[in-house]
Chains A and B, each alone.
Chain A
Amino acid sequence: MCRLFGITSDEPLSPLVAIKALDVMKEGHDGSGVGLFMTDLAGELEPFKGYPILSGVFTQEGIRTLDQFMMEFGFLTKHKYSIRPTRKPPRGTPARDVYLIRSYEYPYEWEGLSSEELQNRLVDIRVRLRRLGEQNGSMTVFSFWPDVIMIKEVGDPIEVADYLGLDRIGLKSRVIMAQGRQNTNYAITLYACHPFFLQGFSSMTNGENTAFVPIREFLTSRDFIGYTGYQSDSEVFTHILHYTLKRLGMNLDAYKHIITPLTDDELKRHHDGEFLRRLKHSLRTLTIDGPNCVIGCLPDKTMFMAQDSKKLRPGIVGGKPGQYAFSSEMCGLDAAIPDRDKTKDFQPMKYDTVAVDALRKEVKLWSQWEPCTRPA
């Protein structure tokens, strides 16, 4: 089972905080991989927050293809922060040429574009790069977005972190999500490794979504270029999040209603039942199934956790003002924030969504029995 750890902190943190938390939780995972999502960047990349950062794994040939491709589109490299391993990789980790972290300046033709158009073009570039790379395995692209870094690799998280030198001083952020396992349900590929990312939305999941195929079909038929990939059944959680907030203009509270709607009988007793029933009907295909704990992050840096409708997976959130962590296991939370008031730890149950926004003052709890906000 995957181990998940997310932390949001006023004080910029090294990704090692999250990796160490995963290591503490190692008892329950097989150390087969690590996925890292960092946003609200600090350190060396903070001055470049406004520029899209390309994250991925490249071969030398891939770098050449990338450079040519980006030049054709008019992108100029703004800042390079890539990792080029100099040591022998740990056992189980393939040798790679470059873990790319590179920020770009927008092409000047893009000036004046609406933010919607600009964001869609960024997705388009990422998807094109992915397809190019898939032809010969020279490029694996995780994200192309301002203020976001993603690193994914096969192998034991702590060994991979050590190998990649993730403790480098300049690599810091205020929001980190980490997942410690390679996908084992489908083929092993870096694209199957959580967290997943799309236009500022990211999520990782501890479980398996048995309703994956109909959900994938629904998303791919929405006519949006970003709804693609799906090497893992968990990727749809990120895309449903994106669809809910970005396409439907709804809030995080609707996300829980969409992935785990209340039962027909419960809706009869809900004072907002009529609206929720219509929502459930229209989004019936996005109802998830199976055991799943979802930890995610929104473009406004709000971090959240929600459980499946039977609450079949563990998950806990706790911390102190200025620093909160979301963890699939309590020991991970203990390792990251030992000096918190543990009596205020919270384990969301089947109706709950918990969230900590960018102000990081408190954990907000919201239940499905409360009113659901309408889109603006």
Chain B
Amino acid sequence: MEPVGTMHPSSLSIKDQHWVVAWDKDKCTLCGKCTAVCPVQAIFLGVHRKRTVNVQLGLSEKPTNVYGVYHGIRQASDAPHACVGCGMCTYVCPNSAIMPVHNEEIDKLRFHINEGGNPRRRGGRRNVPAYVLDKLKFVRISMLTDPALDAGRHEFELRTLLGRILSPENALLVEKEHGWAPPVREIYPLIIGSMSLGALSPNMWEGLQMGVAYLNEEMGMPVRICTGEGGCPPRLLRSRFIKYVILQIASGYFGWDEIIKALPEMLEDPCAIEIKYGQGAKPGDGGLLMWHKVNKLIAALRGVPTGVSLPSPPTHQTKYSIEEAVAKMIQSMYMAWGFRVPVYPKISATATAMAVLNNLARNPYAAGLAIDGEDGGTGAAYNVSMDHMGHPIASNIRDAYLNLVKIGMQNELPLFAGGGVGKNGNLAANAASLIMLGASGVQIGKYIMQAAAGCLGSESDRCNICNVGLCPKGITSQDPRLYRRLDPEDVAQRVVDVFLSFDTELKKILAPLGRSTSLPIGMADALGVDDYHVAQRLDIKHVV
């Protein structure tokens, strides 16, 4: 038996990797671009030894060996340098000589990404491509009695409300008595969900903000964006564009020093305040910004030292119970802006969401409830949280809506749904389905990263290194060498592209359903699915 040298339990070959780099020696020019661009040094320039056996015809001369070398690509096989499949090598290669390909079997690497006893942490999303919303169809097509509308020429009003909406009786009472009515925002039903400056690079963040401002000011689309937990640049806080922004406060309170300082100088009120109690990608876990990304700018914004990891607690530590948390925190946030700004909580989808909902229903200030499903994304989390924790959004939002219907408050407390919306590219269809299941609006994160900035992540565990700030597209990196790859102007343009095309697609869905004058919230009679159990669970039509 040949000796193989010392073997470590975690000694792996390339065959054991999740991604195997296929390299074509004939096409390679040895330019070195791929090794330079690789964010994890998974490939490096290698010297390959090659033996050629020269056999002459006849028996007069003995065969000879010729030993030679050639230069080319080698793939690392240790866990820290495992290929992440981002494909940047392919992107930079002038001859298409290199490409990471999926291992045909389940890799062995996954059993070893816990060196030092640290379980795997990563960015990205749940590594499950299936999404129940993709199975839903819109089956109630208007035909003879109610002819379908023209998506291109009819007038549509695709707006939603964010804020506590008074019951009709109370609204009339307030009018009569000139009383206080909770602030309500008329916004576009597709919202860019919470992604902090810190999780995202400055260029990405700026691009998103510019895109949103353009949509509002030039296209007349009241699109809103949430800051995530990381504060907001002081200049934006003091600008008129802050009205397009939902400020998030989460359990780490990062960035709120700057926000409070800016309060007296703010020209406009923010759109709303989102209190984050949970996140779909890592339910029951607080936010996490790993030390790699806490540079001087981010540290200044968040009021922390540089180079330290910033794990937010799983819950708001000053709070004792849900009643107290909701009542006190919502009240405080309302007070900060003179009761002019809606305040609503965001929770991760959970089997206990109805308890939260019922609590909010009894709180006359709660401006809505955002529920984030298990397919949501994150900049950093434990792999186990991402892959195995959480609740799908579809049934959670449906239950919540039907629960509100039961108590007659379906219009008073708007629900916002997120978590995997458009994960397989079906943004408008997924969003319309959620709205018809009962959501007043939809939050997106990963989709906008993919569509507006070219994020490479996928449900097959591709890239997903947002946590360590090595994003090869510069989307989630705080390293100027990386984030300068991303031009904020280009991102802004893509944001506008995404929203305009979404708007057209949404109309192409609603027009055949005969809907145009209001968003079809709860129009579940339009939905069908070929899975009996899904149909039963969501209380929609079973169609085959």
Known: A213-B522, A223-B408. A290 touches B171 (CB 8 A): no
In the assembled complex, B136 has its CB within 8 A of some CB on chain A:
no
In the assembled complex, B154 has its CB within 8 A of some CB on chain A:
yes
What residues on A are CB-neighbors of B517 within 8 Å? 211, 260, 287-289, 308-310
Indicate if the CB atoms of B146 and A290 lie closer than 8 Å: yes
CB distance from B377 to the nearest CB of A (A): 30
Question: A285: which of B154, B184, B407, B411 is its contact (CB, 8 Å)?
Answer: B411
Q: In chain A, what residue has the closest Cβ to B160?
A: A284
Q: How large is the interface on A (under 10, 10 to 19, 20 to 34, 35 or more residues)?
A: 35 or more
Residues from 488 to 544 in B contacting A, C-beta threshold 8 Å:
513-518, 520-525
Residues from 390 to 411 in B contacting A, C-beta threshold 8 Å:
405-408, 410-411
Residues from 233 to 286 in A contacting B, C-beta threshold 8 Å:
247-250, 260, 263-264, 275, 278-279, 281-285
Indicate if the CB atoms of B518 and A287 lie closer than 8 Å: yes
Please encode chain A, from 202 to 246, with 1 for each CB lying within 8 Å of some chain B CB and 0 for all others. 000001101111100110011100000000000000000000000
Please encode chain B, from 142 to 173, with 1 for each CB lying within 8 Å of some chain A CB and 0 for all others. 10011100000011010101000111111110
Q: In chain A, what residue has the closest Cβ to B181?
A: A278
CB distance from A329 to the nearest CB of B (A): 17
Indicate if the CB atoms of A282 and B520 lie closer than 8 Å: no
Q: In chain B, what residue has the closest Cβ to A263?
A: B157
Indicate if the CB atoms of B523 and A211 lie closer than 8 Å: yes
CB distance from B528 to the nearest CB of A (A): 14
What residues on B are CB-neighbors of A374 within 8 Å? 172, 175-176
A interface: dominant SS: loop
CB distance from A38 to the nearest CB of B (A): 27
Known: A275-B175, A282-B411, A285-B410. A213 touches B518 (CB 8 A): no
Q: In chain A, what residue has the closest Cβ to B163?
A: A281
- A-B pairs with lowest CB-CB distance, top 8: A208-B146, A210-B514, A221-B408, A282-B171, A287-B518, A214-B522, A213-B525, A290-B146
In the assembled complex, B186 has its CB within 8 A of some CB on chain A:
yes
Indicate if the CB atoms of B145 and A185 lie closer than 8 Å: yes
In the assembled complex, B174 has its CB within 8 A of some CB on chain A:
yes
Indicate if the CB atoms of B410 and A217 lie closer than 8 Å: yes
What residues on B are CB-neighbors of A290 within 8 Å? 142, 146, 514-515
A357 to B512, CA, bound (A): 38
What residues on B are CB-neighbors of A247 within 8 Å? 169
Indicate if the CB atoms of A289 and B181 lie closer than 8 Å: no
Q: In chain B, what residue has the closest Cβ to A210?
A: B514
Known: A248-B169, A282-B165, A310-B154. A211 touches B407 (CB 8 A): no
A181 to B367, CA, bound (A): 45
CB distance from B160 to the nearest CB of A (A): 9
In the assembled complex, A1 has its CB within 8 A of some CB on chain B:
yes
What residues on A are CB-neighbors of B405 within 8 Å? 217, 221
Indicate if the CB atoms of B524 and A210 lie closer than 8 Å: no
Q: In chain A, what residue has the closest Cβ to B145?
A: A208
Indicate if the CB atoms of B166 and A264 lie closer than 8 Å: no
Known: A248-B169, A374-B175. A221 touches B186 (CB 8 A): no
Known: A279-B171, A282-B167, A289-B515. A310 touches B520 (CB 8 A): no
A250 to B525, CA, bound (A): 31
What residues on B are CB-neighbors of A375 within 8 Å? 172, 176
Indicate if the CB atoms of B145 and A310 lie closer than 8 Å: no
Q: In chain A, what residue has the closest Cβ to B146?
A: A208
What residues on A are CB-neighbors of B146 within 8 Å? 207-208, 210, 290-291
Question: B521: which of A214, A222, A310 is its contact (CB, 8 Å)?
Answer: A214
What residues on B are CB-neighbors of A283 within 8 Å? 168, 411
Indicate if the CB atoms of B142 and A282 lie closer than 8 Å: no
What residues on B are CB-neighbors of A68 within 8 Å? none
In the assembled complex, A60 has its CB within 8 A of some CB on chain B:
no
Known: A284-B518, A287-B518. A218 touches B171 (CB 8 A): no
What residues on A are CB-neighbors of B169 within 8 Å? 247-248
A235 to B434, CA, bound (A): 27
A and B contact pairs by CB, cutoff 8 A, 25 listed = A207-B145, A208-B142, A210-B140, A210-B142, A210-B514, A210-B515, A211-B518, A211-B520, A218-B408, A221-B405, A221-B406, A221-B407, A248-B168, A250-B172, A263-B155, A278-B181, A282-B165, A282-B167, A285-B522, A287-B517, A287-B518, A289-B515, A310-B154, A374-B175, A374-B176
Residues from 96 to 126 in B contacting A, C-beta threshold 8 Å:
none
CB distance from B119 to the nearest CB of A (A): 45
